[in-house]
Structure 1
Amino acid sequence: MTDRVFPSSKPATNGTAPAANGTFPATKSQLYGTTRPAYRPQPHHRRRHSRSCWCSCCLWFTLTIILLLLLVAITGAIFYVVYRPHRPSFSVTSLKLSYLNVTSSSTLNSKLDLNINAKNPNKKLVFIYNPVTISILSNDINIGDGTVPSFVHGKKNTTLLKATITSSGRELDSESVATLKTGMKSNKGLPLKIKLETKVKAKMGGIKTPKIGIRVSCDGIKATVPSGKTAVTASTSNAKCKVDIRIKVWKWTF
C-alpha cells in the first residue's frame, strides 16, 4: 500500500526558508545601528571655564568698588567730624558806576568799581583761590568783565576783593540795546547781577585737597546811570550772594 503525500500547510517563501521561531530578518537600519556607535555630545569645558572666570572677575570688581566707596565715605565722615568744614561766604560792600552808555552803532562802553567781602568761617581750614573772573550783567546782558588775582584765605578771616569792571566797544544786538536803554531810563534803576567764578582748594596743615570749582551769584542790586562824570553808588542793601560748588566728572559739571 503506497504512502499518501499531503501538501504543506505553510505558504511558499519564493525560495527562501522561513525564519526560525517565527522571527523576521533584520532591517537595514537595525544592521547599521549595530555597527555605528551611539552619539554622545561632549561637554564644553572651555566655555564653562571662561564663564566662571568672567563671573569671578565681575564679583571681585563689584566688591572692590563697594570697598572703595565705603573707604571714601568713612574718610569723608572723619574729615567732617574733625574739621567741621563750611563753604566761604561773599557779600557786596559797594558798587560804583562811573559810566554806562550805548553808542549809535550799538556798542557798549562801561566802567564799574566793585568791592566784595570774602569770609572764611572755618577755624582749621585755609582756602587757596585761583584768579577770580567777575562779570556784571543786567537782564542777562553782560555789561562788563574783570578779574581778581589769586589769593590765600586764612582761617576765620575776611578778605576784601577789589576789581574794576569794564567793557569797551562791545557789540550788542538790537534787542539787547532796547532792553538796556529801557532799564537805564527806569526810575527804579538798572538791575544788576554779579557773577564770580574760580577754583579753590582747602589746606589742612600739610594736606591739600584737589581744586574744586566755585561760582558766586549776587543779585538784588540797583544802579542809576550817571548823567555826568561823577560816579553813582549803586544800592546794595538788598544784595544777596549764593555760593555753588561745581564738581566736574569727565564731561559733566554738577
Structure 2
Amino acid sequence: MERTRMQMMGDKPKIHPTAPLVSRGLAASEKGGSSQSQSQQQPPLPLRTMPAAMQSSKPQKTRSCCCKCICWTVGLLVLLLVIVGATAGVLYLVFIPKIPDYSVDSLSISDLRLNFDMSLYAKFDVKITANNPNKKIGIYYEKGGLLSVWYSNTKLCAGSIPKFYQGHRNMTKLDVSLTGQTQYGSTLLRALQEQQQTGRIPLDLKVDAPVSIKLGRLKLRKVTILGDCLLVVDSLSTNNLISIKASNCKFKLKL
C-alpha cells in the first residue's frame, strides 16, 4: 500500500548511507588524527654534525706545534748550558784562576779633628800590597775603585784606587790617601778616644775594585773584587805611624 502511494506521488525513493560506510569514514578520520598526533609527538631529528676527527683536527695541530716549539726551546737551552759549562771547565783547567789578595802594610793619620759644624774630619794614608797569584791571568784595575775605612758601621774616610795593569804573579805596592767628613763628630770622636785608652781600636778597611780579567790575549768583561780587612790598631794619634796589632782579610769576586 505504501508502494502504491509512492508510485502515485511520482517520487523516487531516497538512499541513505549504510552504517559500514559511516564507520569506515570515522575509522579513516581516527587514523588520520592518530598519525597526525604521532607526527607531532615524534621528536625532531638531530642536526647532522661533523665527525669528531674533523672537529678536533685543528686544535690537535695547534697543540702539536706548541709542543714542538717548547721541546726545541728546552733542547736549545740545555745545549747552550752544556756548551757554557764545558767552556768554563776547559778555561778553569787551562788557566786555574785565583782571586787576588791584599795586605795592609801601614796606616797613618794625617788629620783627625772636629770642625765648627761638629762634623769629624779625617785624613788617613794607607799603604797596601796587591798580589796577583795567577800564572796566566792578568788584571786590569779599572776606574772607580774605592778604599774606605770604617769604625762601628760609620765611614770615616775613603779614597780612590789608581787605575793600572797587574801582570802574572805580580805584587804591586799602592799608596792611597783617604779623606772624609762625618756628621755627629763629637759623639764619634768621644767613642774613639775612649777606645784608644784600651790600646785596641777596631777598624774595618773595605776594598771595592772593578777589574777586567785578561786570559792570554782575550780581555773579558768587567767584574768586581770585594775585600774586607778587619784591623786592630793601637792608637789614632796624628802624624805618627800606627801599629797594626791584628789583621784578618777576606776577598770575593762579584760577577
TM-score where L is the length of structure 2: 0.78
Partner in structure 1 of residue 78 of structure 2: 66
Say whether 1:190 aligns with 2:201.
yes
Say whether 1:152 aligns with 2:165.
yes
Offset, 1:47 = 2.6
1:72-221 equivalence runs, <5 A: 72-103=84-115, 105-131=117-143, 132-167=145-180, 170-173=181-184, 177-186=186-195, 187=197, 188-221=199-232
Judging by fraction of residues, say which structure has more helix: 2
Offset, 1:52 = 1.7
Q: Find the structure with the greater CA-based Rg.
A: 2
Residue pair 2:205, 2:231 contacting (<8 A) in 1 also: no
Q: Deviations over 1:47-83 (max 9, x none)?
A: 3222222211111111111111111111111111111
Q: Deviations over 1:75-112 (max 9, x none)?
A: 11111111111111111011111221233532111111
Measured in 1, the distance between the counterparts of 2:39 and 2:221 equals 86
SS of residue matched to 1:32: coil
Residue pair 2:233, 2:245 contacting (<8 A) in 1 also: no
Residue pair 1:184, 1:190 contacting (<8 A) in 2 also: no
Offset, 1:30 = 2.9
Matched residues, percent identical?
A: 26
Amino acid at match of 1:161: L
Amino acid at match of 2:48: A
Q: Deviations over 1:219-239 (max 9, x none)?
A: 12325222xxx5132332411
Partner in structure 1 of residue 48 of structure 2: 38
TM-score where L is the length of structure 1: 0.79
Give the total of aligned pairs: 228
Partner in structure 1 of residue 252 of structure 2: 244
Structure 1 residues 76 and 13: alpha-carbon distance in aligned structure 2, compared to 1, 3 A threshold: farther
Amino acid at match of 2:134: N
Measured in 1, the distance between the counterparts of 2:186 and 2:62 equals 69
Moved more, 39-48 or 186-195: 39-48
Unaligned runs of 5+ in 1: 1-6, 248-254
